[in-house]
Structure 1
């Protein structure tokens, strides 16, 4: 009996050592993610704060805060509050590295059942559109985000490409882009690198001349803001191996005790 008790203690010690190793492996994975906080990893989510409004007695409303896109309707290279269309989060928000598809696009306002992944269907000049990207969006706070696949299907028309044609708004002081020069296909990402903290994403583009949508040569400006959420951390393969070993060890212990 004493020998069996001694074996039991040895087995318990081994069990604890295996558990400790598994925990260390898991912690090592979490630390490595934190070390790359300035880089957005695949699966990270830019959640989108909905736009805020200010309306007058005639129900004329302008965007005053939150996320929006602007259209330079009078071609003065500026985006004023009255040229902004409100945006809010779609079914997923902006998931880094994910493939997205076009959402609702038709005449008239959004209707029940209309959906879109990154942003909810928006309402511009009496018709519905949705923002998506033809390529997975990736990047960092230093390199910016690759927005070269940014597209906007609207009013049932073919997608309007918004992946190039950088321009510099003359009212950057109001838009928050002072001191920054936009480049083709790159969105400016401001974020302190800490998950759960706020971000700002600004992107300036121009529709290609001659685009069949009729928007050829028109300046667009996308502004998203909200909170950055980390991608779900998968359990490392090593932990699964440890788990399998633990199950086997428990089986051996039960057999010995039964004997």
Structure 2
């Protein structure tokens, strides 16, 4: 063959060779560029590590990472430390205690409301208001106008007909000889006013709120204490592991 001439490539049946200077070229895979046949498959020799295919190790690693990701979405990873598991358990217990504090507060409030209502009914049935005559001018006690109150000696007749005399609270400025109403017990002795409905409500709300706050505070304090202990354990573990690794790092950098 003369220099400068190319050997023509036999055309593939059913295909027309493209025009131009590319008619005599083959692709890098040994197939004409105009051929529709798929390129020949080249099988690569499997890379082995220790006599075993390396691809199996990679597949197992990918499957392990995928399984680990799924496990971490619902709980601690299989490789989680004991301190992580303890902290998670403490957090779950804290949440459960906080949730349980709500029905506990409702139960305590219900019991207190029932007891306070019974006591209010009992006091209202026993105590009576009777008129009393003030014997002396009212004497103001207490400091400041916001807590201004007065007391004075007074005389009254009890429900049983007996006479009683004692120092009782009266409105400020009450003169001697004035008449005031005094709450008395069944025996005629002075007593405080009976509980009213608003008093029962205040006592009930106060008891329920205190119970709820106590439950939440107990749960939070317990979780904080567990976290503090876990952090101390982590610090000790880190220091112990660093004592083992630090000499190796120091020797490695000294060799550079």
The normalised TM-score by structure 2 is 0.32
Structure number with greater CO (CA < 8 Å, separation at least 6) is 1
TM-score (norm 1): 0.32
Larger Rg: 2
Larger helix percent? 2
